[in-house]
Amino acid sequence: MSNFALGTPTSPYLRRTTLLSLGFGIAGAALAIAVTPAAPFERTVVELAPPALHDEPRAATITDTVRDDAAPIAVAAPEQTYAIIRIGNETYVKLARVSGPEQPGTDGDDDTAHDADPALPMPKHGKLRGFALATYGGDAVASVDVRDVGAYAAWQGKHLVVGTSCRASVTGFAVAASFVGEPFAVGSWDGEGEPPTFTARDVFEHGEHMLVAKLSTSCTGRFAREVTAPRAAALTEQEATASQVAAARAALVKSHVGRQLSDAWAESGTKLVWDSEVTFTTKLYRHATTGKVFASVHAANEFSCSGNEANLWGLYQVEGEVLVPVVERGLEGITEILEITDVNGDGTPDVIGKGYLGLGTEIQLADGVVADRIDVPYVGCPC
């Protein structure tokens, strides 16, 4: 099954209930904080117990040694990072957007490194194959001959590193699309009887189209980079103490973005306090090449069709008995964190997570720059 898809509901009612229970919301839920990465923040020093640091993890695929901070660092540019897509049992790397029936050119507001350019024209392709097809959508893919991919033909046989260590090569090309939505919103179903199952053609007509390169190996990473580009660095989760968890939460609540969110909720007229209405997810990570330990805390509430939202991320370096702020910002574009990894290799952890309505993925650098993303459109009303 694709990494795009939601669990298949057994009925229209359960499908809608499933979406709501996952906290899906739409634009009517305003007041989410989106703090510009460049905004200055106060250096908040938070006292906490010394972290219980474990021995550096040993993984067969990680060969880094602890890096000297004085040594020069090779940092990958955002455009050198490519999102990974899995459809059926095959793994692909996203190369570019492709214009489809409802996507002439660029949408004009996409800020990803690869999608800022106008979409490619739809190439000549083979027969469509559908995967994970259900009453709410699915995935479709069709092979493309190397002669029909233009300049991307140079990618044939190219060697890539997926994630931080898994190696794969490009074995072919395809156009792919994914789509999630309500049958009544895109078809002729009138709501009577059982809704129809979407076909590969339906998905291809309404989905977001991409030119993708098929990989020789099914690596588990969520992004890829050419072997000649600076490599990413892994972060290994560490056991966090209760005091570390409490300190990270307090730091985010007291931060400038926490105070801004408090003011926004108060101005809306609610008597609720945001930090009592959200779920805090706090984890500790050790950087594989620098040995530094970071605390990541994500504060978010469930999305709804009305009401106030909260979606903040704080990243703190653990230095002895204090937490030093590295990043404190709104996490616009990501609804759930999937992975904390040093994507560009600059020594600072970055974040990969689920996109709008929990669909697709987005790769954000620490400062909020979007390196790449997989957009999965939703057609209909999730409320």
153-198 pLDDT, tens per residue? 999 999 999 999 999 999 999 999 998 988 877 766 777 788 888 8
In Å, how far are 77, 242, 287, 296, 383 from 237, measured between CA atoms? 25, 15, 9, 10, 36
Pairing of the two strands 129-134 and 279-287: unpaired
Whether 1 has a pLDDT exceeding 60, the answer reads no
Q: What is the DSSP string of 13-57?
A: HHHHHHHHHTT---TTS-------TTS------EE-PPP-PPPPP
pLDDT band at 150 (very low <50, low <70, confident <90, very high): very high
Binned at pLDDT 50, 70 and 90, residue 112 comes out as low
> pLDDT at residue 4 above 60?
no
Residue 56 confidence (pLDDT) above 70? no
CA atoms of 130 and 139, how far apart (whole Å): 6
pLDDT at 13 over 90: no
Same domain, yes or no: 127 and 45: no
CA distance 24 to 302: 7
Mean pLDDT computed over 249-265 = 97
3-state secondary structure of 77: coil
Does residue 19 surpass a pLDDT of 90? no
Answer whether residue 336 is part of any domain.
yes
* 34, 198, 312, 348, 377 from 327: Cα distances, Å: 13, 42, 10, 10, 29
Segment 240-264 shows an average pLDDT of: 96
**Comparing 142 with 48, which gets the higher pLDDT?**
142
Element (H, E) at 74: none
Is 371 part of a structural domain of the chain?
yes
Residues 310 and 362 in one domain: yes
CA 95 to chain centre: 16
Cβ-contact 33, 330 below 8 angstroms: yes
Asked if residue 168 is part of any domain, the answer here is yes
* pLDDT band at residue 20 using 50, 70 and 90 as cut-offs: very low
Residues 82 and 159 reside in one and the same domain: yes
Q: How confident is the model at residue 113 (pLDDT cuts 50, 70, 90)?
A: low
- 221 & 83 share domain: yes
Residues 108 and 220 grouped into a single domain? yes
Number of domains in the chain: 2
Can you give the pLDDT at residue 21? 36
Of the given ranges (32-36, 235-239, 338-342, 354-358), which has the lowest mean pLDDT?
A: 32-36
Distances in Å between the Cα of 222 and the Cα atoms of 54, 81, 218, 307, 383 are: 26, 10, 11, 33, 30
Q: What percent of the chain has pLDDT over 90?
A: 60
Domain-ending residue, one of 205, 226, 247: 226
**Residue 83 sits in the same domain as residue 222:** yes
104-118, 172-186, 221-235: range with lowest mean pLDDT: 104-118
Query: Is residue 249 included in any domain, yes or no?
Result: yes
Rounded CA separation 344/340 (Å): 12
Give the 3-state secondary structure of residue 73: coil
- The reply to whether 261 and 185 lie within a common domain is no
Does residue 116 sit in the same domain as residue 152?
yes
Alpha carbons 185 and 35: distance in angstroms, whole number: 34
Rounded mean pLDDT, 360-366: 96
pLDDT score at 49: 37
Residues 213 and 114 grouped into a single domain: yes
Give Cβ neighbours of residue 80 (< 8 Å, ≥ 6 apart). 225, 226, 229, 230
Q: Decide if pLDDT at 68 tops 70.
A: no
Residue 206, both tokens: 């309404």
Residues 162 and 276 in one domain: no
pLDDT(55) > 50: no
Q: What is the greatest pairwise CA distance in the chain? A: 68
Average pLDDT rounded to a whole number, residues 125-140: 92
CA distances (Å), origin 285, targets 151, 243, 324, 349: 40, 16, 14, 9
Distance between CA atoms of residues 82 and 109, nearest Å: 19
Judge whether 146 lies within some domain: yes
Q: Which of residues 285 and 377 earns the better pLDDT score?
A: 285
Positive or negative, the CA dihedral 250, 281, 309, 366 is: positive
Q: What is the pLDDT of residue 192?
A: 79
The pLDDT value given to residue 74:
84
**313 has which bridge partners?**
298, 329
DSSP state of 120: B
Please check whether residue 66 lies inside any domain of the structure.
no
Among 226, 252, 283, the domain boundary falls at 226
* pLDDT grade for 48, boundaries at 50, 70 and 90: very low
| Burial tier of 147 (Cβ tally within 10 Å: 0-12, 13-18, 19+) | exposed
**If phi over 0 gives left and psi between -120 and 50 gives alpha, with beta otherwise, what is residue 166?**
beta
340 and 216 both lie in a single domain: no
Q: What is the dihedral of CA 351, 292, 235, 250, to 10 degrees?
A: -50
Average pLDDT over residues 203-208: 88
* Mean predicted confidence (pLDDT) in 356-366: 92
Point out the domain boundary residue: 226, 248, 275: 226
Is the same domain home to 339 and 249? yes
The distance in angstroms from the start CA to the end CA of the chain is 26
Task: Output the average pLDDT for the chain.
Answer: 80
List the domain range (segments joined by +) for residue 145.
78-226
What are the structure tokens assigned to 359, written together? Answer: 């669909």
Flag whether pLDDT at 365 surpasses 90. Answer: yes
Answer yes or no: pTM beyond 0.75: yes
116 pLDDT tier (thresholds 50, 70, 90) = low
Instruction: Collect all residues with Cβ–Cβ distance below 8 Å to 128 and sequence separation of at least 6.
Output: 140, 141, 142, 200, 201, 204
Q: Is the pLDDT of residue 70 over 70?
A: no
